[in-house]
């Protein structure tokens, strides 16, 4: 699908440019857009290294384990057919804990392991079990509590005055998508059209899936068994008291001079990112993590992620830049805008909404190009940024995970996931109108 979209954008750009007499603009857009894509990547590198580094610090400090323990009781209720001590349950818990922390790269191996284990207890091997469908619905719409750091770095590189302003709207949108996807699973699972097929053939699958070996531990293995010393407790309590006092003082001053809603918006804009950074580092500190070593290990991953997306960014941004320069995008917007504007949705964000379920890197590139064209702090820029974090890459996740389980009949997984995508889009629109007007 993405191949067809990309080819269609380039061919349509050449054709419209020829018809409209704008071939010079299309030609210039090729070089300008390619240069813009590289500059965006350069602006991303520092932020990706830093934020993935501090998330790794909290990861090693036990935050993911704590989230996993909190999720386990809920997952036992959602997946009653999976034994609590089965390897599939452990893999699902760790996958969702990683997603909650925004560690998509760490979540994927656990997700593949979970699907492979669920396949072993699936009586109809070619059709997805209820547990598989629900797991996929949650995965493609997973709530991520951590700040969308990649999106924030693109916004910063585009000159945003408040790169982190889209954190709370994104959290609201992804909550809507998750609730809708899970609700759709329960509504659709008993329909006759989605019953498991006994004759569904097995796909090739991934065979015996093995978890990758972890790197050398970055904290003392016996740290969890030893109580925190007086010095560490003093530092932690002192930091919390200082932050609580300052935050309370700012909240009181804001309430005295403005409305409650505006005060909360201002505090979330100015405080959330520093509190996130400090909180994650203190989690690692309290877990006796070698903070600097963990930061470097996570930073290497951030650098690798940034380098991997360079070809995708260049390809999509050049194609969209050509499409815009040819006049084809203006024509498309003029046709769609009278309909979408009635619902408070600018037509300029529709390319992002359509591409997000197909390709994460493609959507990332479209978001970058949109922010450059319309400004990161415009309503179009805010909504496009929020859409980036509202759902996952639905078709990629379904293909990868169902393939891992050898499943050819996904039953209602696609329908539930797409309903989650639509709900995430609607949630992003509502949240952005409330936060940004």
* 209 vs 126: CA distance, rounded Å: 18
Asked whether residue 374 is assigned to any structural domain, the reply reads yes
Residue 238 in domain: no
Confidence at residue 205, expressed as pLDDT on a 0 to 100 scale: 46
Output the six-digit token pair for 117: 């284990």
- Angle (CA) 230-234-235 rounded to 5° is 120
User: What average pLDDT does the segment 187-191 reach?
Assistant: 91
Torsion of CA 180, 383, 336, 312, to 10 degrees: -90
Whether 327 is covered by a domain: the verdict is yes
Of 48-52, 222-226, 270-274, 337-341, give the range with the top mean pLDDT.
Answer: 337-341
Contact 401, 136 (CB under 8 A): yes
Provide long-range contacts, Cβ within 8 A and 24+ apart, for 91-94: 91/117, 92/135, 93/68, 94/64, 94/68
Please name the residue ranges forming H helices in 61-206: 63-78, 87-100, 104-120, 130-139, 149-157, 167-188
Q: Which residues contact residue 195 at a Cβ distance below 8 angstroms, ignoring those fewer than 6 apart?
A: 411
Minimum mean pLDDT range among 92-96, 101-105, 233-237, 414-418: 101-105
Question: Residues 46-53: what's their mean pLDDT?
Answer: 76
pLDDT in tens, 140-169: 887 777 767 778 888 888 888 888 888 889
pLDDT at position 300 is 84
- Check residues 92 and 227 and name the one with the higher pLDDT: 92
Average pLDDT over residues 394-410: 79
**Measured distance CA(389)–CA(384) in Å, rounded:** 9
164 located within any domain: yes
The answer to whether the CB of 325 falls within 8 A of the CB of 25 is yes
pLDDT in tens, 267-310: 766 777 788 788 888 888 888 888 888 888 888 877 876 776 67
In a domain, 245, yes or no: no
- Flag whether 246 is in a domain: no
pLDDT for residue 201: 67
pLDDT at 24: 92
Q: Which of 9-13, 201-205, 417-421 is least confident? A: 201-205
Distance from C-alpha of 262 to C-alpha of 268, rounded to nearest angstrom: 10
Nearest CA-CA partner of 394 in 411, 417, 415, 410: 417
Query: Does any domain span residue 209?
Result: yes
Contact 101, 143 (CB under 8 A): no
Does residue 420 surpass a pLDDT of 70? yes
Q: What is the mean pLDDT of residues 319-342?
A: 81
How many domains in the chain?
1
Task: With a cut of 90, say whether residue 44 has pLDDT above it.
Answer: no
**Domain limits at 108?**
2-219+289-436
Is residue 242 a part of any domain in this protein? Answer: no
């Amino acid at each position: 699908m993405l191949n067809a979209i990309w080819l269609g954008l380039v061919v349509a750009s050449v054709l419209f440019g020829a018809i409209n007499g704008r071939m010079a603009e299309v030609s210039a857009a090729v070089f300008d857009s390619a240069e813009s894509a590289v500059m965006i990547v350069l602006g991303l590198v520092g932020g990706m290294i830093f934020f993935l580094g501090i998330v790794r610090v909290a990861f090693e400090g036990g935050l993911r384990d704590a989230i996993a323990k909190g999720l386990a009781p809920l997952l036992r209720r959602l997946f009653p057919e999976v034994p609590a001590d089965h390897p599939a349950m452990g893999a699902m818990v760790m996958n969702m804990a990683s997603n909650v922390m925004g560690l998509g790269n760490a979540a994927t191996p656990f997700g593949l392991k979970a699907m492979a284990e669920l396949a072993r207890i699936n009586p109809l091997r070619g059709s997805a079990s209820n547990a598989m469908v629900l797991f996929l619905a949650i995965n493609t719409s997973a709530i991520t509590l951590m700040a969308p750091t990649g999106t924030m770095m693109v916004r910063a590189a585009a000159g945003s005055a408040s790169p982190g302003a889209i954190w709370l709207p994104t959290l609201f949108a992804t909550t809507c998508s998750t609730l809708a996807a899970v609700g759709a699973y329960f509504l659709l699972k008993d329909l006759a059209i989605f019953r498991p097929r006994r004759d569904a053939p097995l796909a090739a699958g991934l065979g015996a899936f093995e978890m990758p070996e972890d790197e050398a531990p970055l904290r003392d293995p016996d740290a969890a068994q030893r109580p925190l010393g007086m010095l560490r407790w003093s530092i932690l309590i002192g930091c919390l008291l200082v932050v609580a006092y300052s935050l309370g003082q700012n909240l009181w001053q804001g309430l005295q001079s403005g409305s409650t809603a505006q005060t909360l918006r201002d505090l979330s804009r100015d405080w959330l990112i520093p509190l996130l950074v400090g909180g994650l580092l203190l989690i690692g500190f309290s877990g006796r993590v070698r903070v600097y070593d963990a930061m470097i290990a996570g930073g290497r991953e951030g650098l690798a992620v940034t380098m991997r997306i360079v070809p995708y960014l260049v390809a999509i941004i050049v194609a969209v830049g050509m499409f815009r320069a040819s006049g084809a995008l203006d024509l498309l917007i003029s046709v769609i805008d009278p309909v979408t504007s009635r619902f408070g949705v600018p037509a300029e964000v529709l390319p992002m909404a359509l591409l997000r379920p197909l390709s994460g890197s493609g959507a990332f590139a479209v978001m970058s190009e949109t922010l450059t064209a319309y400004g990161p702090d415009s309503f179009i820029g805010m909504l496009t940024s929020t859409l980036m974090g509202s759902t996952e890459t639905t078709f990629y996740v379904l293909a990868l995970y169902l393939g891992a389980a050898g499943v050819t009949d996904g039953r209602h997984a696609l329908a539930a996931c797409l309903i989650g995508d639509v709900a995430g889009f609607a949630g992003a629109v509502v949240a952005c109108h409330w936060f940004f007007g």
